[in-house]
């Protein structure tokens, strides 16, 4: 069933954008990108626990591929002006998995994080106001929590291929539940320093919110970057519930690099992966309402390729959590 569902979602993603754009002309200032992200604790502290793996494939449409009907629809939202704003359509397909600290127990510790998987398709837009350096990200995620997410199957198969200990408690995961998540984030880029177009420094405060049965939270954060050609991007992409992805590169055939440090605080009202299923009995823990993510890394743009590596340190998310989460994120994109 997970394979059939994945095939259906991929077909839906393609149907939403293929053949909908305007005719291509000159090379756009904002090209299309397609990328893949992997987030895993193997790239962090090496422990197989908590938020243990995320995988996402993202397509961001360039200037010539954004559907006209989509621009008209976004123009109805207050604060968005299609006549002056740069608008890009974004679609993604992803999966996340969460496990307790001890994955060898058939009956997991009831005070530890429950097993949970999340398979989702995301549809949204990136809206840039070039004159002010404001980037807005809006998206709607639709998906499934529970066995149909395929998370348990994927983790067991992957561990089998690597010949490492199989996780034994997926039979106690959250039960099947459809999920909906509406998110919004705004980032404001402000240049602090520019020396002969070689070394630049900018800061990017950000704020956002998420609303749905999967997650209810408000966010506030910021980042600082040092590098060259910082205006090519708005920072590294992440898979939710971390920082929402700013899936945008301004132009192709360019070179840029930067190192970055950032922090984001989250006020969490609901997190299904900790609170348990919305309806019916399920495993759960007492979550912490205040959570912070600290991240740092490097981003390279080499012609048509964009590569980012990030380390993320997340404070404890629930009562009784023995240690903070640490995981890495690798993102590779192709610009066309």
Q: What is the pLDDT of residues 158-173, one digit of tens each?
A: 888 877 778 899 999 9
Percent of the chain with pLDDT over 90: 50
Closest CA to 232 of 184, 205, 185, 197: 197
Poorest-confidence range of 9-18, 64-73, 184-193, 224-233?
A: 9-18
DSSP per residue, 216-276:
EEEEEEEEEEEEE-GGG-SS----TTSSPP----S-SSEEEEEEEEEEEEEEEEEEHHHH-
Give CA–CA dist 173/180, Å, rounded. Answer: 19
At 14, is the pLDDT very low, low, confident or very high (cuts 50, 70, 90)? very low
CATH number for the domain running over 2-335? 2.40.128.140
Write down the pLDDT at residue 313: 93
Report which secondary-structure segment, H or E, holds 9. helix 2-17
Q: What is the pTM of this model?
A: 0.86
Q: Mean per-residue pLDDT for 178-207?
A: 89
Write down the pLDDT at residue 241: 53
Phi first, then psi: give them for residue 102, nearest 5 degrees.
Answer: -100, 105
At 29, is the pLDDT very low, low, confident or very high (cuts 50, 70, 90)? low
CA dihedral 16, 40, 304, 301 (to 10 degrees): 130
Poorest-confidence range of 59-63, 104-108, 262-266, 324-328?
A: 59-63
Write down the pLDDT at residue 16: 45
Residue written as token pair 């995961």: 173
Rg (CA), the chain: 20
What is the dihedral sign for C-alpha 268, 275, 292, 262? negative
The larger pLDDT score, comparing residue 335 to residue 213, is at 213
Q: How far apart are the first and last CA of the chain?
A: 34
pLDDT digits (tens, 9 = 90+) for 250-287: 665 678 899 999 999 999 999 999 999 999 899 999 99
> Domain extents for the chain?
2-335
pLDDT digits (tens, 9 = 90+) for 97-117: 999 999 989 999 999 999 999
């Amino acid at each position: 069933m997970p394979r059939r569902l994945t095939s259906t979602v991929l077909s839906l993603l393609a149907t939403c954008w293929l053949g909908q754009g305007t005719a291509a002309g000159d090379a756009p200032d904002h090209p299309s990108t397609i990328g893949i992200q992997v987030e895993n604790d193997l790239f962090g502290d090496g422990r197989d626990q908590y938020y243990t793996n995320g995988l996402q494939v993202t397509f961001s449409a360039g200037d010539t591929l954004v559907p006209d009907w989509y621009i008209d629809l976004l123009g109805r939202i207050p604060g968005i002006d299609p006549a002056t704003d740069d608008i890009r359509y974004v679609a993604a397909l992803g999966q996340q998995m969460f496990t307790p600290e001890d994955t060898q127990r058939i009956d997991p510790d009831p005070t530890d994080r429950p097993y949970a998987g999340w398979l989702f398709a995301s549809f949204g837009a990136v809206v840039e106001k070039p004159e002010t350096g404001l980037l807005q990200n809006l998206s709607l995620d639709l998906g499934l929590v529970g066995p149909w997410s395929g998370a348990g199957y994927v983790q067991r198969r992957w561990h089998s291929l690597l010949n490492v200990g199989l996780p034994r408690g997926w039979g106690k995961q959250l039960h099947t539940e459809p999920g909906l998540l509406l998110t919004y984030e705004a980032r404001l880029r402000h240049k602090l320093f520019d020396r002969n177009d070689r070394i630049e420094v900018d800061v990017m405060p950000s704020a956002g919110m998420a609303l749905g049965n999967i997650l209810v939270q408000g966010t506030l954060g910021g980042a600082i970057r040092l590098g060259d050609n910082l205006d090519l991007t708005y920072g590294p992409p992440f898979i939710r519930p971390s920082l929402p992805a700013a899936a945008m590169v301004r132009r192709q055939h360019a070179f840029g690099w930067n190192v970055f440090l950032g922090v984001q605080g989250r006020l969490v009202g609901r997190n299904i992966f900790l609170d348990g299923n919305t309806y019916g009995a399920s495993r759960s823990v007492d979550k912490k309402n205040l959570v912070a993510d600290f991240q740092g890394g490097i981003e390279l743009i080499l012609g048509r390729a964009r590569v980012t590596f990030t380390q993320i340190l997340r404070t404890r998310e629930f009562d009784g959590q023995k240690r903070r989460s640490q995981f890495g994120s690798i993102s590779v994109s192709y610009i066309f």
